[in-house]
Amino acid sequence: MTSSCDIAVIGAGVLGLSIAAELRARGRGVCVIDPGGANASSVAAGMIAPAMESLLDPWEPDPVGRAAVLRYARDLWPEFAERHGIELIRDGVDWIGPDADGVVARLAALGFAAERTGRGAHCPEDWRIDPVQALAALGRGVERVRGRVAAVRPEGASWCLALADGSEVMARAVVLATGTTFPDLPEAVMGALGGVQAIGGRLAFTPRRLVERPARFVGGYAVPLGEGTVIGATMEAGGLVAAASGLQDTLLERACAALGLEEIGPVEWRTGVRGAVPDGMPLTGEVMPGFHLALAPRRNGWLMGPQVARVVAAGKF
């Protein structure tokens, strides 16, 4: 069976759905092709965190410049959230680790406001969303094709997307917005993807409400989600490691120490795999006529969603 659409977006994570929602808002015909189920965006903590990302992972040789880029991406969120029906939670973030005075000073040097508190420091400039609510809002009204894309090949001025079940989707343009598992693609596209590295991550969800707003500590974070808390996260180069009990135990031990707890209690482990490229920013651009990339956001997919959507939607469609 063969169907058709104007623009096919492969992947239903934050980048794929942000792009689809933005294209649809601009009057474009778009469909999202995805096998369904959980992905790295849906199991994330939903942090929009330019301040803490800049503090804890300063990008040399220009950490101030990188901080400005991340802050600009965050500043696109209020309008984007309102337009697409996403609840934007602006409760800031607490630092509950050592050297709170140094943290405040370094954040100020990076261009972020912060102040000392009794427990450490507070920065109002990091926000968050509920990832499940946000993905549902972004996907509202967007045509979906449930399935795994096995191959993409050009056919004249169009693209043929062959699905694993034997069906096909014909599209005038394609946006590849998947993680690190790619379909069979033209050589020119695969060449552009050569620098993408898989980064595995695991988070623990507990039904206990351990914090009232996001808290960062050495080696991890705790973020309210619903009635519970997400504790994260590992960064596993190459993808999820096979034996992870040690990584999980270490993460929970760090959380207990930072939060002053004897134990976290029962947890549900959630995992995802994201892509990353050497410069740490999402990989975007048209690599063949009508074939666009929007992937590999490292751990800043939610932060960069509106910015990537704006850049891609403004492309040659």
Please indicate, yes or no, if residue 71 is contained in any of the structural domains. Answer: no
Please indicate, yes or no, if residue 73 is contained in any of the structural domains. Answer: no
Please indicate, yes or no, if residue 66 is contained in any of the structural domains. Answer: no
Residue bearing tokens 């979906």: 144
Q: What is the DSSP letter of 87?
A: P
Residue bearing tokens 């800043």: 300
Secondary structure element (H or E) that encloses residue 110, with its range = helix 100-110
- Is the distance from CB of 129 to CB of 85 less than 8 angstroms? no
Mean pLDDT computed over every residue of the chain: 96
Give the range of the structural domain holding residue 189, as residue numbers without chain letter.
2-41+135-195+280-313
- Is the distance from CB of 285 to CB of 310 less than 8 angstroms? no
Please indicate, yes or no, if residue 96 is contained in any of the structural domains. Answer: no
Please indicate, yes or no, if residue 118 is contained in any of the structural domains. Answer: no
pLDDT at 316: 76
Q: Is the dihedral of CA 8, 308, 80, 179 positive or negative?
A: positive
pLDDT at 317: 75
Please indicate, yes or no, if residue 32 is contained in any of the structural domains. Answer: yes
**What is the mean pLDDT of the segment spanning 246-258?**
96
Secondary structure element (H or E) that encloses residue 291, with its range = strand 291-295
Structure tokens at 112: 């972020």
Residue bearing tokens 């199991």: 43
Q: Assign residue 27 the CATH number of its domain.
A: 3.50.50.60
Q: Is the pLDDT of residue 1 over 80?
A: no
**What is the mean pLDDT of the segment spanning 112-127?**
96
Q: Is the pLDDT of residue 91 over 90?
A: yes
Digit-coded pLDDT (tens) for 149-183: 999 999 999 999 999 999 999 999 999 999 999 99
Please indicate, yes or no, if residue 214 is contained in any of the structural domains. Answer: no
pLDDT at 119: 86
Please indicate, yes or no, if residue 259 is contained in any of the structural domains. Answer: no
Digit-coded pLDDT (tens) for 186-243: 999 999 999 999 999 999 999 999 999 999 999 999 999 999 999 999 999 999 999 8
Secondary structure element (H or E) that encloses residue 138, with its range = helix 131-139
Strands (E), 24-102: 30-34, 47-48, 93-95
Comparing C-alpha atoms, which of 86, 117, 103, 119 is closest to residue 51? 103
Beta bridge partners of 206: 229
Digit-coded pLDDT (tens) for 4-48: 999 999 999 999 999 999 999 999 999 999 999 999 999 999 999
- Do the bridges between strand 268-276 and strand 115-116 make them parallel or antiparallel, or are there none, so unpaired? unpaired
Q: Provide the number of structural domains found in the chain.
A: 1
pLDDT at 315: 87
